[in-house]
Structures are given as C-alpha cells and as structure tokens.
C-alpha cells in the first residue's frame, strides 16, 4: 500500500491526511509483547482497525529504522504503552520522540501507563529516572539527545490516557481503549461502487470540483437526474475519493425508502452518529431528540454526509435541521430525482445534473456486461448498436439488459430486442415508475399526454392546449422537468425513450379493452376502435398516424361515445367517409386530407388548435359568429411560409409597421430579417375579377431585388366584405449581400400591388411585422441619418401624436406615423415601434389621411385559408410546424348551417387541389422517428362572447399583444 510520508515543516491535519494505519503501538517488547500489548493488538484487529506492531525479528539498534519511522508517520493514532522498563530502551525513546513530532502536525496520541505511575514518567523518577541517568552517562558527548528524551517523557505523561493498575481486569481496560479509538477514528470503509464503473470517474470528478474541499466554507451539492441514471453510483465514488479528508463521514442509503416510520428515521439518525463518532452508545428515543443530538455531537466536526435518494425536504431536516450548524469545511451531498427539492433548502445548493452515457461509454458498458470485454463479438455488433439505441445511454437499462443477454445466441438476441420494444422490462420500469407515482393527478395527466402525443412538440404550443384542459401546465411542466421526467430543448418537449415507454405502458395497463383506455397512439389500436366503433367516454386522446399514406373508412359515428375526447390527431391518413359527429370538447383537432365539411352539429367552443392540411373544409361556420375577434392576437410560432385570409379591416397591433395605402419601408442591420406581411382589401371589384392575387416588390437600398406574389383567390370564394390577407413571400436565404451597402443600417422598401387590371387596386392599408432598427420618433434627428443618398428613415414611435422631422417632410420618399383618432391603438411591440398607422405616399403620388374602411356587403361569408408555401426537409426528430392555432377560446355560440356548394379556391401550383383549403401543404412530409406536427397559427387566448354583426365594425376589439403565446 502506498504511503504518504511527511517531513518536518509539513502542515496538515488528521482530516486531510491519508493514513496507511489506524493505530501504531509503541511498547517495550520484553515487558508486554506477549501479555497486555498482544491482547490489545488482537482486540484492535478484531474490531477492524488496521494496527501496526513491530516484528520480533526486526533488527534492533540505537537508531530506529526507516521502516518504523514510515509506519509512525502514516498512522492516524499512536498508543504509547509505558511499562517498567520502557525508558531503558533507546529504541522506544526514539519512537516516542517521532510520535510526538507527528502529534504536533495532526496525529492522535494516547499514553497507557501499564503498572507504572504517570508521575514517575512525567518527573523521571523510579525506574524512569534510573534509565535516564544511565543514558546521560552513555551519551555524555550527545547530551542533547537525552534532554529530548526527558522532554518527550514529560510531554507524553501529561497527555490524557489510561492508567492500568494491578488488580484491574485487563480485558475491561482494553475495551475502554477500543471505545476511545472507535470514537476517534471514523468509519472509513470504502463503498462498492459498481461492477463496471464506466463513465463514473469523470462524473465523480465533476462533483468533487463542486465540493471544492480546499475551501473552508460549508457546502451542499445536489446530484439530480432521472431514475437509473447513476446518481447513487456517482455519490459512492465521490465518497471513496474524499471521505478520508474529513473528521467523520456517513453515507445514508435509500433515505426515502428508509424514512417511512419514526423508528426507521431513528435508525438512520443512530447510524449517522455511529459512522461519524464510532460509538454505539448513542441511543435516540425520538426523531426530534435525534436532530438535536446530531447537532450537539457533530457541530464542532468537519464532516461529510451523503443523503441518498431524497424526495422530501423533511427527510433532509431529520438529520440537518435548518443546515445552520455544520462546521466550516463540512460537505453535504444529496441525491434526488427532484431538482426543485434542492431549491427549498435553507442554504443555496450547487447542482450537478447527471446525463446519460454517451454512445462510446454506453457501447463499452453494454459490452462489459454481455461479453466481459469492452467491445462485442463481430456478429453481434449490429444488434449491440440497436440495444444501445433502445437504452439511450441509461446505465440501469444497459446493466439489466446486458446481463440478461450474456450467453444467449444471436437468434435469442433478435427475439429479445423485439420483445423489449413492445413489452418493457419490469425491473427497469419499476425503478422509472417511482418518479411518476410521486406526481399529483394533474401532473400525471400532463406527463401521460406528453408521453403519448406531444413528445417533440413546441412547449408553448402544448401549454396552450393543456391549459385549455384545466391541467395548469405552467406549473405542472416545470415540476416534471424538476423530477427529470421531461426536458426542454430548443423550445420543445422531450423525454428519455424509456421514460416515454414507461408512460405508455401505464396507459396500456388501464384496461385490456382498447376502447376503455384513456389514450390511443398506436395506429392499429386507434384504427380498430374507430372502425369498430368501440370507443368510450374514457378516451381523452387519439392519434391516428401512419408511416405511409393510407386511406381508411371509419365508422360514421366513431366519436359519438367519446364525449371526453380532447385531442384528435390524424396524419398521413386519408379519411374516405364523412364523419357525422365530433365531440365539442376537442382542444386539438388535426385532420389530414379530409375532403368533407366538418359535422354540422360540431360546436368547437373549447377548440384551441385547428390543423387541417390538404383538407377541403369550409371554416366560415367556425368563425362567422366572432367577426374580427378571431384575428390573430399574437405573432405565429413560425411565420416563414404561410398564408391566411380572415374577415376584418383592422390590422393587428403586433404589426409594428403599418401604412394606409400600399407602401412601407423600414431599416435593418447587416442581415436581412424575416418579415410578415398583410394587406387589407375591399371586395368592390370582386364581381368584375375572375381571380386576383397580391404582388410584392422588395427594394434593398434603392435596388429592386425581387418581385413575388401570393396564391390566387377566385370568384367562387364569395368574398364580399373587407378581409385581411396575411402572407410571406420571400425566401430569406436568397438575400445576397451585394445588394447591401457597407453601413450597419440598410433600407428595405416594400410595395404591394393588386395583380389584376392595370390601375385597379382594392388595397386599403398594409402592415409588416419585422425586427427592425428604425429610430424611435422622439429620438429622431438629422444626426441619425447615414452618409448615403438612400431614402430617408422610416420611423417608429411609441407616442400617439407625432410631428415629423422637417428633414423627412422634404424627402421624396416620406413615411411617418399618425394618430388613428377614430380607433386609438394601445401598447407597443417589443422593439417599441409605433402601433398606429402610417401616413404614406400612395401609388397616385399624393399624401392622404386614412379612411375608415366600410363593409360593402353583408358579412355572411367569412373565410379562412392557410397555405404552406414551402416544406422543410424532415429528418429524424424534425417537426413540421403547420396549422391554425385558435388560442384558448370561449365560444358560446350556435353555428349556422350554410351551403358549401359555391365554396372553392384554386391555388397556383399543380400540387394543390382545386378547393378552398383551410390548410394546404405542398407535398407530404415523410415522418421519421420522433417526427411530429407541432406548430400552428396562434390566434391568442380570446374570449369570443359576442355574435358577428353585419356592416358595422364598432364592436370589434383587439387586445394588446402579450409576450406569452397565451393571454389570460
């Protein structure tokens, strides 16, 4: 065993030295070797103390050997047994001198006066005086050595120790010494870490860095992560690495499991006292006394305490109270699945989140359990990789499955792999399920909804939907994150594959009958229930998704019994028959290629998200009662490629550039931003036009960059009231820097034209949402203008009344803002751009004030059209963000049944069907693993409690945008 010798001048304490021996015995062999000292040595060894005793064959001399000096320095405790002839041995006196040198730098020293009086040793009287006189004569030329011996005897005899007199039972005397040594020497037995501790050392080192043992403050470090990730294993490794650096240490395993009763808590408190103090004399009678006893006994000691698997604050308080008494230098490590628990401590902890093993570590660990080496047999390589993908770096799963596969042939491996995919391992599931069982009812529902339907979806999207189900996701989702059941990455919800499998297994155990389970996500299961009409009120969500395009015929009243259905997700499945019923309680409705109108009795008063790609659905029945209150109140999640037409005439406030007419300009930095456009148009010319579309011209720093256009609107759509057309038309990746000048400010000019007859344009106003760098109006001055001849600044304002700068008034391309006196707008966007309309130069070359658009016909044909103009390439884990998001609405209205015979729209591409699509996707996304349809057009959380009125816009109301995606 390695030793840690010290030299004079070293500075260390017993709490920072690593020892080779627990006890060193210094004695005169001829006096006590075969008597008292021999019995004491055996008793110490029997109690597990590693004790050094010199060998009888050890060569003696006047100077002690280097081996003996090394043993003295590397022992935590020295026991000096003074007997009648002890001082006659120069060897013993040299040992004594070295022992006292080590005492001054941290070693514990206890004298035993075996049948000699302590005063004789201290004063060098009797046999001790005679021996020292003899040594003075022998070393008259080195009298300083004898003086050192005299001083050492005096010092040692003054220490607290034991006096063994004649007639006292030696075994009782030895037991007293054992008790004292036990209390002095803490339990430092190493803990078993793992059979194959792959990846443990690096993680233990990270925790050790957080502990910062050299620092003299008190610290708490929390190790958190999902079940089976290796929290306890890492804590054991840390304990083994640093426990010797403390006055005492204790590792309390499975605190949650062992804290069920007062008796079990008392046992843990007694274990803590014993492991640190080394004495079993402490008896705890109740938990409250135990807390105070721990505080009284340990408050002066530098200790290491590890509390393993804690799930409640009270479990920590049972041992540490308020954590306000521990001595400087003490460290506490807590392992838990609940990160939030750590934040409730009286002292702010440091956090270490355990992540799953990387692929290389998982590969090595799995191979060790299956093949007892760090790589698999060549024939098993492919299957090994599949199992590693299945376990997704969870050490518990790698250990259990790897051990189970050891010794099996390749055919059995293949069979086990398929079984694990469908029937999860019970041992793994039971450990993972512990976190689920600690959730309340709402949190359980949120977890199961995410596991069955919403893994990989945008968090804000899911929050809106679950909030409408009264599940309080704003608090529930963070709790699931704290308990390591889910995580958020890139704004989306994720969970470990085995955690998801655990959640789905919980649902499958609800009933053997598919129609009596709460959630259906497997295609075959959902299809069986919907074709055989075996559903029930217990079902709250159905996902009917196929890996390849599929046509199905469902029971016409398949959803009649599912009155509690909240989510209906259909993807890549073409429903070939018309549904006669949909539950009115739906919050999420996704229909893929549904060429029929929605049921006439469908009243979606609680609908939050409607996504109907490539479907022919007339939506006026859904939105007709609500008028402009159905206009989008928030910026969509992803507005790169979409198009929507809604009835109304007032542009939403989150369009930070608005103008009467057809022209808007703005300033941007060195990178061209994404822009969202809208125009308000009137239907006056509708009857003379067969079809029309909006053409958009974009100039960058005065140079025409590109012209683009929207899709076409045909006469058969029956537009006869003012509408707002929202769209994007530019491919931002194509913007070439050669069009931009060298300044940090660049000017963009956008002009909207009606692509119909020359000189005819029904555009009333326009708007753009963009992250611009336009100056605020109160900050505007001629000093802000760059040294360039490009058009003057467009300006943004946070005030309602504006006096334009004289410089701008003289500009040929003048744009400023004005106050909309008829309907003042409130609030401003995040960039503080003014939300009022702009006074602009019209296409006729004159300035004009805005006019209030008038409805020119009865408002009875409100239409909504969503068009996906581009489709991202989907790989594994990618998401298609499509759909219409209505927010959390209260729609307490009856719907009017209208004739859909005249309802038609033809898009400008061959990929589009000649119908008026509620949502059209060009092409069909191929879904790989984890692919989801997750985003939609978000209309905010509106309360639509009024009917749509005819020609008057006076009852329209738009709320200021919220920074959140939902508005309470």
- Block residue for tokens 């004569």: 137
CATH for 200-353 is 3.40.50.300
pLDDT at 552: 94
- Block residue for tokens 């949502």: 919
Burial letters 738-753, b for 16+ CB under 10 A, else e: ebbbeeebbbbbbbbb
Out of 20-34, 408-422, 852-866, which region has the weakest mean confidence (pLDDT)?
A: 852-866
Which tokens in the block code for residue 694? 């909006």
Residue 370 is given by DSSP the state H
β-pairing verdict for 663-668 and 746-754: antiparallel
pLDDT above 50 for 826 = no
pLDDT above 70 for 109 = yes
- Taking only the tens place, the pLDDT of each residue in 517-543 is 999 999 999 999 999 999 999 999 999
β-pairing verdict for 713-714 and 691-692: antiparallel
pLDDT at 486: 94
pLDDT at 601: 85
Q: Distance (Å, rounded) from C-alpha 575 to C-alpha 254?
A: 53
The closest alpha carbon to 900, from 624, 647, 557, belongs to 624
* Alpha helix stretches (DSSP H) within 299-358: 313-320, 339-343
> Contact at 8 Å (CB) between 638 and 935?
yes
Q: Distance (Å, rounded) from C-alpha 49 to C-alpha 492?
A: 56
Indicate if 431-508 has the same CATH topology as 21-184.
no
pLDDT at 820: 35
Which tokens in the block code for residue 438? 């600690």
Confidence band, pLDDT 50/70/90 cuts, at residue 58: low
pLDDT at 322: 85
- What percent of the chain clears pLDDT 70, i.e. is strictly above it? 69
Of 298 and 791, the one with more pLDDT:
298
Which of the four CATH numbers 3.40.980.10, 3.40.630.30, 3.30.360.10, 3.40.50.10140 does domain 21-184 have?
3.40.50.10140
pLDDT at 762: 80
Who's near 422: CB < 8 A, 6+ residues apart?
A: none
Burial letters 939-958, b for 16+ CB under 10 A, else e: bbbbebeeebeeeebeebeb
Domain-by-domain residue ranges, the chain?
Answer: 21-184, 200-353, 359-423, 431-508, 650-840
pLDDT above 60 for 742 = no
Mean pLDDT, residues 24-28: 93
pLDDT above 50 for 57 = yes
Mean pLDDT, residues 181-192: 75
pLDDT at 185: 67
pLDDT at 651: 86
Give the helix/strand (H/E) hosting 412. Answer: helix 410-422
pLDDT at 56: 60
Confidence band, pLDDT 50/70/90 cuts, at residue 732: low
Return the SS3 of 794: coil
- Taking only the tens place, the pLDDT of each residue in 581-602 is 999 999 999 888 888 888 888 8
Q: Which of 67, 94, 95, 140 is catalytic?
A: 95
Is residue 95 annotated as part of the catalytic site, yes or no? Answer: yes
* Alpha helix stretches (DSSP H) within 438-557: 441-449, 459-468, 473-482, 497-508, 523-532
pLDDT at 186: 60
pLDDT at 530: 96
Return the SS3 of 264: helix
pLDDT at 349: 93
Task: Report the mean per-residue pLDDT for the chain.
Answer: 75
Highest mean pLDDT, choosing among 128-137, 447-456, 887-896: 447-456
Q: Distance (Å, rounded) from C-alpha 383 to C-alpha 679?
A: 58
Out of 215-224, 397-406, 613-622, 790-799, which region has the weakest mean confidence (pLDDT)?
A: 790-799
CB atoms within 10 A of CB 242: 18
pLDDT at 79: 95
Of 911 and 422, the one with more pLDDT:
422
pLDDT above 50 for 443 = yes
Residue 305 is given by DSSP the state E
pLDDT above 80 for 878 = no
pLDDT above 80 for 882 = no
Out of 121-130, 537-546, 631-640, 723-732, which region has the weakest mean confidence (pLDDT)?
A: 631-640
Mean pLDDT, residues 813-836: 36
pLDDT at 879: 34
The closest alpha carbon to 870, from 682, 575, 641, belongs to 641
C-alpha 49, offset from chain centre = 46
Burial letters 900-922, b for 16+ CB under 10 A, else e: eeebbbbbeeeebeebbbbbbbb
- Taking only the tens place, the pLDDT of each residue in 390-426 is 999 999 999 999 999 999 999 999 999 999 988 889 9
pLDDT at 410: 92
Which of the four CATH numbers 3.40.50.170, 1.10.10.10, 3.40.50.2300, 3.10.20.340 does domain 431-508 have?
1.10.10.10
The closest alpha carbon to 417, from 399, 429, 435, 404, belongs to 404
Statement: the pTM of the whole predicted model exceeds 0.75: no
The closest alpha carbon to 350, from 251, 217, 455, 244, belongs to 217
Out of 278-292, 583-597, 774-788, 899-913, which region has the weakest mean confidence (pLDDT)?
A: 899-913
Mean pLDDT, residues 751-773: 80
E-strand ranges in 226-367 read: 248-252, 303-307, 331-336, 350-353
The length of the chain, given as a count of residues: 968
Confidence band, pLDDT 50/70/90 cuts, at residue 304: very high
CB atoms within 10 A of CB 504: 17
Confidence band, pLDDT 50/70/90 cuts, at residue 48: confident
pLDDT at 212: 93
Of 775 and 164, the one with more pLDDT:
164
Residue 533 burial (C-beta neighbours within 10 Å; 0-12, 13-18, 19+): middle
- Taking only the tens place, the pLDDT of each residue in 357-383 is 999 999 999 999 999 998 888 999 999
pLDDT at 105: 83
> Contact at 8 Å (CB) between 103 and 155?
no
Supply angle C-alpha 615, 619, 622, rounded to 5. 135
pLDDT at 926: 28
> Contact at 8 Å (CB) between 507 and 424?
no
């Amino acid at each position: 065993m390695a030793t840690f010798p010290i030299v004079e001048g070293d500075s260390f304490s017993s709490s920072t030295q690593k020892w080779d021996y627990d006890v060193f015995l210094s004695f005169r062999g001829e006096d006590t070797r075969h008597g008292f000292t021999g019995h004491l040595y055996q008793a110490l060894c029997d109690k597990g103390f590693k004790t050094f005793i010199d060998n009888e064959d050890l060569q003696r001399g006047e100077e002690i050997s280097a081996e003996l000096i090394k043993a003295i320095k590397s022992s935590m405790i020295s026991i000096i047994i003074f007997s009648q002839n002890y001082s006659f041995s120069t060897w013993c006196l040299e040992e004594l001198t070295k022992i006292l040198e080590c005492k001054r730098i941290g070693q514990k020293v206890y004298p035993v006066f075996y049948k000699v009086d302590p005063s004789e040793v201290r004063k060098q009287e009797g046999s001790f005086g005679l021996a020292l006189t003899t040594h003075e004569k022998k070393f008259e030329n080195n009298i300083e050595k004898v003086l050192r011996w005299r001083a050492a005897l005096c010092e040692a005899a003054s220490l607290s120790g034991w006096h063994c007199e004649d007639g006292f039972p030696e075994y009782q005397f030895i037991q007293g010494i054992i008790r004292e040594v036990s209390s002095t020497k803490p339990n430092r037995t190493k803990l078993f870490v793992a059979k194959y501790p792959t990846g443990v050392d690096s993680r233990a080192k990270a925790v050790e860095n957080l502990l910062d043992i050299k620092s003299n403050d008190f610290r708490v470090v929390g190790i958190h992560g999902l079940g089976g990730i290796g929290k306890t294993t890492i804590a054991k490794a840390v304990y083994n690495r640093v426990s010797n650096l403390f006055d005492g240490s204790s590792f309390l395993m499975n605190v949650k499991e062992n804290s069920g009763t007062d008796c079990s808590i008392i046992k843990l408190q007694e274990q803590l006292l014993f492991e640190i103090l080394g004495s079993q004399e402490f008896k705890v009678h109740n938990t409250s006394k135990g807390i105070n006893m721990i505080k009284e006994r340990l408050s002066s000691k530098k200790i290491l305490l590890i509390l393993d698997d804690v799930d409640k604050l009270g479990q920590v308080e049972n041992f540490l109270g308020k954590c306000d008494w521990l001595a400087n230098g003490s460290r506490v490590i807590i392992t838990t699945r609940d990160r939030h628990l750590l934040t409730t401590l009286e002292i702010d902890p440091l956090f270490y989140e355990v992540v799953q093993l990387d692929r290389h570590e998982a590969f090595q660990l799995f191979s060790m359990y299956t093949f007892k080496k760090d790589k698999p047999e060549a024939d098993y390589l492919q299957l090994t990789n599949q199992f590693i993908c299945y376990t997704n770096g969870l050490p518990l799963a790698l250990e259990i499955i790897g051990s189970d596969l050891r010794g099996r042939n390749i055919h059995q491996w293949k069979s086990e792999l398929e079984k694990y995919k469908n029937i999860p391992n019970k041992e793994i599931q039971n450990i993972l399920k512990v976190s689920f069982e600690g959730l309340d009812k709402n949190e359980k529902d949120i977890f199961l909804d995410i596991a069955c339907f919403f893994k990989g979806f945008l968090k804000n999207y899911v929050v809106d939907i679950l909030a409408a189900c009264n599940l309080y996701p704003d608090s529930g989702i963070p709790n699931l994150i704290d308990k390591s059941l889910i995580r958020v990455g890139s704004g989306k919800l994720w969970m470990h594959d085995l955690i998801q499998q655990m959640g789905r297994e919980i649902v499958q155990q609800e009933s053997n009958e598919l129609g009596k389970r709460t959630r259906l996500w497997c295609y075959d299961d959902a299809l069986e229930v919907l074709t055989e009409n075996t559903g029930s009120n217990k079902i709250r969500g159905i996902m009917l998704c196929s890996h390849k395009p599929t046509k199905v015929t469902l029971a016409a009243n398949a959803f009649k019994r599912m009155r509690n259905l909240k989510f209906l997700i259909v993807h890549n499945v073409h429903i070939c028959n018309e549904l006669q019923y949909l539950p009115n309680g739906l919050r999420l409705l996704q229909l893929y290629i549904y060429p029929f109108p929605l049921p006439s009795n469908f009243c979606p008063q609680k609908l939050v998200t409607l996504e109907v790609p490539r479907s022919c659905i007339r939506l006026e029945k859904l939105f007709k009662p609500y008028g402009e209150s159905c206009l989008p109140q928030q910026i969509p999640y992803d507005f790169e490629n979409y198009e929507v037409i809604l009835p109304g005439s007032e542009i939403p406030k989150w369009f930070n550039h608005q103008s009467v007419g057809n022209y808007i300009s703005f300033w941007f930095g060195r990178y061209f931003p994404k822009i969202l456009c809208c125009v308000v148009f009137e239907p006056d010319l509708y009857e003379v036009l067969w079809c029309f579309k909006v053409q958009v011209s974009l100039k960058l720093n005065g140079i025409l960059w590109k012209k683009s256009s929207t899709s076409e609107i045909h006469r058969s759509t029956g537009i006869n009231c003012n509408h707002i057309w929202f769209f994007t038309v530019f491919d931002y990746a194509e913007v070439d820097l050669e069009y931009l000048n060298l300044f940090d400010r660049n000017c963009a000019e956008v002009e909207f034209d009606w692509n119909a007859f020359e000189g005819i344009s029904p555009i009333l106003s326009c708007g753009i949402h963009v992250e611009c760098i336009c100056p605020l109006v109160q900050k505007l001055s001629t000093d802000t203008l760059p040294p360039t001849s490009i058009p003057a600044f467009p300006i943004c304002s946070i005030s309602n009344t504006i006096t334009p700068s004289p410089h701008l008034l003289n500009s040929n391309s003048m744009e400023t803002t004005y106050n909309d006196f008829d309907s003042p707008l409130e609030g401003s966007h995040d960039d503080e751009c003014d939300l009022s309309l702009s006074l602009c130069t019209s296409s006729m070359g004159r300035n004009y004030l805005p006019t209030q658009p008038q409805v020119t016909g009865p408002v009875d044909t409100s239409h909504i059209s969503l068009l996906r103009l581009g489709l991202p390439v989907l790989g594994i884990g990618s998401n298609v963000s499509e759909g219409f998001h209505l927010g959390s609405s209260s729609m307490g209205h009856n719907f009017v049944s209208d004739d859909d015979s005249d309802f038609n729209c033809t898009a400008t591409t061959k990929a589009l069907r000649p119908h008026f699509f509620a949502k059209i996707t060009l092409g069909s996304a191929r879904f790989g693993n984890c692919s989801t349809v997750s985003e939609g057009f978000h209309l905010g959380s509106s309360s639509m409690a009024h009917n749509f009125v005819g020609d008057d816009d006076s009852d329209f109301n738009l709320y200021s945008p919220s920074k959140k995606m939902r508005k309470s």
